[in-house]
Structure 1
C-alpha cells in the first residue's frame, strides 16, 4: 500500500477525515495505464482522481503540464478548480491550476500554450483545439495523467469520440500517459472501460462502496394526473409545499420549454414569495451565473432546471430533488438524484412527479429499477466517421502527418478499433478532395500529398477556418433576445430562429421566467419589453426530447403481467384493470394492436414500446403500407409507447403490415427526399468540415447554412449517391432522428406474435392518444376518396349524379412531417 505523505495525512486529520478505501486504491494503482473509478456522489470521487497528481507534484520538481482534466461542462471545470484550490492552498503546495474553456480570454489561452499550468481543466472542444496547434507536442511535453470526469456522459455522444481521438494524439506525444475515468452512474462498466482505454490495453475498474440507497418515491397529490400532457401543473401546490419543507430543492424538467412553463406557473402560485430561480441552456450566460452564485450562497429555496444541472457540480445545500415528468432513463434519474446531499453516508432524497396517467406507471417502473440498482443504456455502434474526418483536418492543422501512423493511432481508440483501412482512406480522400462529385471545386481541395508521402494542408491559411469550426455540438439556429435598447439592452437569452420568424410585434412569450413582448428584430437580435400578460406564447426551445429507454419500456411491459398493482395509486391501477377487462394489456414478446371505430373514422393503435422516434417512424412506415394495401390512412400520432393511426378502412389482418423487408423499402423511399435526411446531412457535413458555420468575416445564419447544405445534398444525391457524406448521413439518421433500430428490435422481439383486438369503442389505454399533440396528416387516396364521395353526395342532392366523373385512381402518398 502506498502511504499517504505526512503533509497529506495531517491535512486529512485537520478536516476530520479518513482516506476512503477507493481513494487509497487510486493512489496504489496510480501507475496503471487506465483506471475507471465508479463511486457515489459525495464519496470524494474528484479527490480520488487528483490525489496521485497532487502527491506527485508536492515536491515542486515537475516542469510544465502534469495533469489534464476533461469535463463535459465548463461550469464543472470551474467547480473543480474551486474544490482543488482548497487542499493546494491549505497544504501550501507549489501547484498551479487553471481553466481553459470557451470563456477563457485570448491572452490567457496564448500564455497557457507558452507556459502551461501543472493542472489544466478543460473540455473536449478545447482539447481538440489545443492538439491542432504546431506547438502541441511542446505544450504537452511531460504530461503524466488525464482525468476524465463524468465519463458516462461523454461516452454517449460524439463529444466523447472527439475527446478519445484527442487523447490518442496526446498518447502519441506522451506514450506513458495514464488515463483515469470518474463516474457515479455507469450501467455497463466494461463498455466504459473499453471506451476509455488505449486499445487493446486493459482498463481496470474500481467500484467504491455505493453508500446508502436513495430515499426516492412518487409525490402524493390530492389531484390525479391528467390523461395527457407534460406540464404537471396539477402538482404545483404539492411541489410548493415540498419547497417550503426543505432548504434547497432542484426541480428537474426534461425540456427547456416545460421548465419555463412550470417556473411561470410556480411563481404565480408562490404566495409566500419564496426565492426561486430558473436555469437552462437557452438563458443568457450572465443570468445562469447569477443563479449559480445564488445557489452556492444558499439564497434560493428552489431552482427549476434542465440537464444543465445534471452533472456533478456541488451547488451548496441541496437536500431535495424533484423530477417533473417521467425520467425516460433510469441512469439519468440516478444522476439527478445524486445532486441532493453531497455527503457520502447520507441518502439522497428525491420525488417523482408524473405529468400524466401513463407516466405514473413509468415512474413506478423507474423507482423499482433504481432500488434494484439496474441502470439502462443503449449500446453504441462504431465511432462516427464525420468526427473522424474532422480529426484528420485537426491533425493536418498541426503539421504534416503520415497516413499509416495516423490510421494506427485511430485504431487505438476503442470506438474505432474495427475501422478498416478502406474506411479510413475514404475519410482521408474526402478531407483531401471533397469526394468524387466535389473534387473539381477548389474550396474542398484541402490536403495534398508531399513527395515524402506525408499529407499536409494545401493552404496553411486554411488552419484558421478549420479551428473556427472545431466541435461536434450542433447549435440550434437561435437569435439573441435583449430588452429594447432604450431600456438598457439587457440580454435575456436565445430563442429559435423559426419561432422568432413566427412572431409579430405585440406577441408575448416566456423567457427566463418572465413574460416579454416582441417589439421587433434589429441586427439579428430580438428586441423585447416587459409585459404583464398572464397567458404568453411559449418559446420553442429545442432542448432534448428524451426517448424512453428500451430497458425501462421492458420493465413497464413486465408490470402489465402482474395480477394487481399495489404499488400504483388507486386511480391508475383501476385504469389498467379496466383495460384488461375491455381489451388486454401489452405483453412482453408480443405486439398488441387494437382497432375500433371512433368519430367517423377507423382507428388502429400499435403498442410497440419503441421510444418516441421509433414509434414516429413506425407511424410513417405503417401508413405507407396501409396506403399500398388500400386502407386509406389519414394521419397518425405517436408517443413513447404507442402509435395511433386513423383512416377510412378497418385493419382486418395486421400481420402483413409488419413485413420487415417492406418496411425497410418504405423507409428507403421516404428517406431519399425527406427533410430529416437534409437536416441530418447538414449536421454531419458541418462536423466533417464540408460546411462552415464560422468564417473569419462572419458566422452564417441558420437559413444561409441550410440553403447551402440543401444544395450540396441535392447535388450529391444526383451526381454521387455513394458519396461518403451521404453514407454517413444515412447511418446517422437511422440511429438518431429515425431510430429504425428500435423498430427492427420490435419486429425481431415479437417474431410474428401479434394480438389483434377488434373492438367497438375507444379503450382505456388508447384514450390518452386522442388527446396527444403533434398529429401528423397523411395526404393520399383517402383525401381524394372523401372529396369524390362529397362531390357525389352534392350531385345526388342536386339531381346531377349522372354527370359526375369516375373517381381518379392515382396512387399518392405523402406525410406532412
Structure 2
C-alpha cells in the first residue's frame, strides 16, 4: 500500500518510504483489533498512528478520534513531540494533547468540554475520565485506541484496569478499533487475547526483526567479586566505554543500586564527563531536566532504572550497559533496543556481572536475547480488587444495570471467564462492604433503585475519584532541601530510621537529614564520601524461570569454553569436589565451616522464593531441635547455618508439609496484612487520599491492620480476604516458585557431605542480608558465652 496522498509530501521531504508492517497496518486499519510486534526503531508508533493521521487529514471532524495509552507519562510527551512533526509540516488542523497527572486542572476541564482529536494518556487518567457523567460525550466520537508498550501494562494490575476501561469505551463508542504495539512479547497469543473484544479475535502482525543486536560481556580487567550486587569493580572499564561512545545508558535493576553506582562513578570521574542519574523516585523537575539535557545532546551517560526501559526516542544513544544480571531476558531485550534506536542499525549492549554467579546469568541472557527466546510470567484471571474499583468508577458516571455491566466486563482480558457469582460478590462489596462491615454507613456506597445501581451519596464520587489507580504506594515521603527544592521521595520506613545528622544518597547527591516536618523529610547538602543508601520503591527482582533453566542447562555441559577462564575453572572445581546442580534434582550440600554447620539448598527458585523457603525450613528445623541460627537467600540457593548437622535434608522438603507450613506461617505473618493493605486500597475499602489531606503509610497500615483483624475474626470468607490469600502467595513470598521447584525435583534430592566448604557454596558465606532465627540455638549460644565470660572472670556459674 502506498503512503496516503495527504501524507505523501511529508514522507518525501524526509526521504521515507513505508515499511511493510506500516503498509499492512494501513491496509487492515478497519479491523476490530490488531497487535503489532516490531523491533525498537522500526517505526511501530508511526505504524499505529498512520491510519489516524490519514483519516484526520482527509476529514478533521471535531471530537476525540484516537486515544493513545502508555505506561509512562514521559512516553506520552515523547510521542506528542513526534506526532507534531507531520502535523506541523503539513499544516494539518489536528489537535494533539496529553492528559496525565502533570496536566493542569484548567487544561483537564477544557479537554472534557472540547476534546482534542488525539489524546495521549495513561491508564489512571483514562479511568478518571470514564468516571465523569459526561464520559458518553467525551468518548462518543472515539474511533481508535492505541495501546503502546502493551506488554509492560499486561504484566500488572494497571493492565487489568486498562482492559476494563476498554470494555467501557466499547459501550460508549460501538465499532471502536483497538491497536496494541510492542517490541518484546513473550506470548503474542496471550497479549492478543487480552486486547481482543471477546468473542472477536485480534490479528497479530509481525515486522521484520531487523539486525541481530551486538551483545557482549564487559572485560573489566579482573574477575568480578564472589558476592555483592554493586559491580563497583567495573567502574574504570565502564568509564572507558562511556568515553568511546556518544551517549550511554547504564541500566540498574533497582533504584538503590543506581544511586550507589552513580555516587561511586562520579567519585572516579576525574575527567568530569557529563553524567546524570534518572529514576522514578526523583523529583519530576530533576527527571525532566535530565531528559531535556539528553535531547540536547549535553550528556555522555545516564545511570538509570526501568523508567527509561520503554520507547523514548533518543537517537544519539549508541550503547546500553546492563549492570548486574538482567533477571528477565524480556527486560534485557527492551533495554538493548534503546541503543541505536533506528531501523537497519544493530543495537549494542554490554552486560556487566556484579559477581561470579552473575557471569553465568549474563552468559545465558545473551544467548537467549540473540535467539529472541523471551521469558514471561503466566497470567491468571483478572484480579477482583481491580474489578471492585471499576464498579465504583462506573457508578460515579451514573446509574447502571448489573446485567449490562457484567456483559461489558466479560468482553475483555482476564475477565472473559468471570463467573456471575464472583461479579455479584464484588457488587455486594461495593454496595455494603460485606457481611462484617454492612452496619457502617461509610462502606454503604451503592444502592439499588428501580432496577439500577447508583451511588447512595453523589458526594462520594469525589472521594472515589481521588483514589483511582492500581499502583501500590510503598509509603513514601517527600525529600526537600530547606531552601524548598524538591529532590524526590524515599520510603517512609527508611525515614523513620534516620536521626538528625545522618547522611544518605538521593539523586546522586549526599544530603544530611535535619528533621521530619509533616510529610516532608528536610535535608541539607553534605558532601560526604560514605553516606547511607536510601530506600526506594521497587525491590529485588528474581531471575525468571526460563533464564534459570538456561543456567541449569549450562552447568551440565562437559566444559565451558564460552565462559571466562576464572568462572570455568570455578565450575570445574565444584564438579571435582562435589556436584553441580541439575534441573530435575535438588542438590543439598552440608559442611562445617567457621565452627558452624551449613546446609546449602540449590533450589534455583529466585530470591523471593528462597527467602520464604528459608523461613519455612528453619521453622521445621527448630521444631526438630536442629538449632538453626539463620539463613541467607540468593536467586540460586538457600544457605542455612546452625549448630547441628542436617543429616536428612530430604525429609524437610515434602510438598504437603511445606504447603501446610506455609499456610500456617502466612496467617500469622505481616505479609498477609501488607498484601491486604494493597488489596483494600485498590478495592476502595481504604481511602489513601481524602479531601484536604492524605494518610501517611503508618496511618494507612494502622487502619488496615484493624480492618484485617476484624474481618479475620468475624468474616473470614470476606471477598477481600480471599483475594489477599490468593495474591499473598505471589510477589514477595513467591510460593508459586517453591511449588514449581518441588514439582520439578519430584523428591529427588542429592545430599553431598564434603569435608569443607565447596567452591560453589563459598560465595554464599560472603553474602550480606543474613536472616537470624530466634530460637533455642541462639539461647544456647548466649548461655555458653555467658559461661565462658564467668569462667574468664574466675566466677563459677550459678
Cα distance in 2 for residues equivalent to 1:282 and 1:791: 47
Correspondence list, 1:647-658, <5 A: 647-658=642-653
Q: Which of 475, 480, 483 is matched with 2:481 structurally?
A: 483
Corresponding position of 1:778:
773
Could you tell me whether the CA contact under 8 Å between 1:399 and 1:456 is conserved in 2? Answer: yes
Aligned-partner SS, 2:58: coil
Give yes or no for contact 2:654–2:747 (8 Å, CA) kept in 1: no
**How many angstroms does 1:222 deviate by?**
1.0
The answer to whether 1:471 aligns with 2:469 is: yes
Q: Quick check: 1:492–1:511 contact (8 Å CA) kept in 2? A: yes
For the pair 1:560 / 2:568, whether they are aligned, the reply is: no
Once the two structures are superposed, residues 94-128 of structure 1 have per-residue CA deviations (whole angstroms, 9 ceiling, x without a partner) of 21111010011111111111111111000000010
Question: Corresponding residue for 2:143?
Answer: 144
Q: CA deviation at 1:660?
A: 1.1
SS at match of 2:288: helix
Distance 1:441 1:271 in 2: 64
Preserved contact between residue 684 and residue 728 of structure 1 (Cα < 8 Å): yes
The Cα shift of 1:526 comes to: 1.7
- Counterpart in 2 of 1:615? 610
Of 7-16 and 259-268, the range deviating more from structure 2: 7-16
Report Cα offsets for 1:208-231 as digits up to 9, x if no partner. Answer: 001000001001111211111111
Deviations 1:619-645, CA, capped at 9 Å, x for gaps: 111112222333222211101110011
Tell me how far 1:59 sits from its aligned partner. 2.1
Secondary structure in structure 2 of the residue aligned to 1:216: strand
Q: How far off its partner does 1:371 sit?
A: 1.1
Distance 1:169 1:234 in 2: 53
| Worse overlay, 786-795 or 626-635 | 786-795
Deviation at 1:329, TM superposition (A): 0.4
Task: Verify: 1:418 aligned to 2:417, yes or no.
Answer: yes
Q: CA deviation at 1:793?
A: 7.7
Partner residue in 2 for 1:808: none
Give 1:132 shift.
0.6
Structure 2: how far apart are the matches of 1:224 and 1:163? 46
> What is the SS of the residue equivalent to 1:518?
strand
Query: 2:377 & 2:716 partners in 1: Cα distance?
Result: 30
What is the CA–CA distance in structure 1 between the aligned matches of 2:535 and 2:57, rounded to whole Å?
51
Does the aligned pair in 2 maintain the 1:292–1:315 contact within 8 Å? no
What does the per-residue CA deviation read over 1:180-226, in whole Å, with 9 as the maximum and x for residues that have no partner? 00000111111110111112211100000010000010011112111
Secondary structure of the structure 1 residue equivalent to 2:373: coil
Does the aligned pair in 1 maintain the 2:391–2:427 contact within 8 Å? Answer: yes
> What's the counterpart of residue 263 of structure 2?
264
Q: CA deviation at 1:389?
A: 0.6
Q: Give the corresponding residue for 1:200.
A: 199
What pairs with 1:355-370 in structure 2 (closer than 5 Å)? 355-370=354-369
Whole-Å separation in 1 of the counterparts to 2:591 and 2:770: 18
Which stretch of the first structure deviates more once superposed, 269-278 or 627-636?
Answer: 627-636
Of 534, 537, 544, which aligns to 1:542?
Answer: 537
Q: TM-score, normalised by structure 1?
A: 0.96
Residue aligning to 1:597 = 592
Q: Is residue 505 of structure 1 aligned with residue 503 of structure 2?
A: no
Correspondence for 2:717: 722
- Comparing 293-302 with 617-626, greater Cα deviation is found at 617-626
Q: Deviations over 1:720-747 (max 9, x none)?
A: 1111111111111102111111111111
Q: Aligned pair in 2 of structure 1 residues 569, 443: CA closer, same or farther (>3 Å)?
A: same
Which residue number in structure 1 is paired with residue 187 of structure 2?
Answer: 188
Q: How does 1:375-454 map to 2 (within 5 A)?
A: 375-450=374-449, 452-454=450-452
Counterpart Cα distance in 2 of 1:61 and 1:514: 49
Q: Secondary structure at the match of 2:273?
A: coil
Partner Cα separation in structure 2 for residue 271 and residue 767 of structure 1: 36
Secondary structure of 1:185's match?
coil
Tell me if 1:661 matches 2:656: yes
CA shift for structure 1 position 767: 1.1
Contact 1:60 1:95 in 2 (8 A): no
Query: Matches of residues 215-364 of structure 1 in structure 2 within 5 Å?
Result: 215-364=214-363
Return the alpha-carbon distance in structure 1 between the equivalents of residues 403 and 731 of structure 2.
32
Alignment check: 8 A CA contact 1:298 1:316 kept: no
Aligned to 1:34: 33
Structure 2 contact 188–204 (Cα < 8 Å) conserved: yes
**What's 1:625 paired with?**
620
Partner of 2:63: 64
Corresponding residue SS for 2:689? coil
CA distance in 2, matches of 1:547, 1:738: 11
CA separation in 2, counterparts of 1:101 and 1:532? 36
Could you say which residue in structure 2 is the equivalent of 1:811? none
CA distance in 2: counterparts of 1:714 and 1:634, whole angstroms? 31
Once the two structures are overlaid, the 10-residue window that deviates more, 534-543 or 339-348, is 534-543
1:645-688 Cα distance to aligned partner (Å, 9 max, x none): 11122122222211111111111111112111111110110000
Residues 565-610 of structure 1 show CA distances to partners (whole Å, capped at 9, x for unaligned) of: 1111111111111111111110121111111112222111101111
Find the aligned partners of 1:52 and 1:799 in 2 and give their Cα distance: 91
The one of 512, 524, 527 aligned to 2:522: 527
1:580-591 aligned within 5 A: 580-591=575-586
Q: Given that residues 12 and 18 in structure 1 are in contact (C-alpha distance below 8 angstroms), is that contact kept between their aligned partners in structure 2? A: yes
TM-score normalised by the chain length of structure 2: 0.98
Shift of 1:4: 2.9
Secondary structure class of the residue paired with 1:32: coil
CA distance in 2 between counterparts of 1:50 and 1:61 reads 15
SS at 1:7 equivalent: coil
**Conserved 8 A contact 2:6-2:57:** no
Cα displacement string for residues 286-319 of structure 1 (whole angstroms, at most 9, x for unaligned residues):
0110000000000000000011100000124100
Question: 2:704 maps to which residue?
Answer: 709
Q: Which moved more, 1:210-219 or 1:502-511?
A: 502-511
Q: Matches of 2:170 and 2:580 in 1, distance apart?
A: 54
Provide the residue aligned with 2:371 in structure 1.
372
Does the CA contact (< 8 Å) of 2:6 and 2:54 recur in 1? no
Question: What corresponds to 2:460 in structure 1?
Answer: 462
* Equivalent residues of 2:281, 2:490 under 8 A apart: yes
List per-residue Cα deviations over 1:349-396 (Å, max 9, x = no partner): 110000111101100010110111100001011111110110010011
| In structure 1, C-alpha distance between the alignment counterparts of 2:785 and 2:46, rounded to whole Å | 75
- Secondary structure of the 2:198 match is coil
Contact map agreement 2:588 2:749 (CA 8 A) in 1: yes
Equivalence for 2:77 = 78
> What does the per-residue CA deviation read over 1:484-505, in whole Å, with 9 as the maximum and x for residues that have no partner?
2xxx322211122222222222
Cα distance in 2 for partners of 1:253, 1:347 equals: 22
Distance 2:35 2:731 in 1: 28
Work out whether residues 60 and 93 of structure 2, in 8 Å CA contact, stay in contact via their aligned partners in 1: no
SS in 2 for 1:779: coil
Contact 2:606 2:737 in 1 (8 A): yes
Please list the CA deviations of residues 299-344 of structure 1 after superposition, one character each: whole Å capped at 9, or x if unmatched. Answer: 0000000111000001241000001111000000000000011111
Deviations 1:53-112 (A, max 9, x none): 111111234231110000000000000000000011112222111101001111111111
Q: Shift of the alpha carbon at 1:785?
A: 4.1
Partner of 1:810: none
- SS of 2:600's partner is strand
CA separation in 2, counterparts of 1:15 and 1:289? 28
Unaligned runs of 5+ in 2: none
Paired residues, number? 798
- Tell me the secondary structure at the aligned position of residue 690 of structure 2: coil
Q: Secondary structure at the match of 1:703?
A: helix
SS in 2 for 1:36: strand
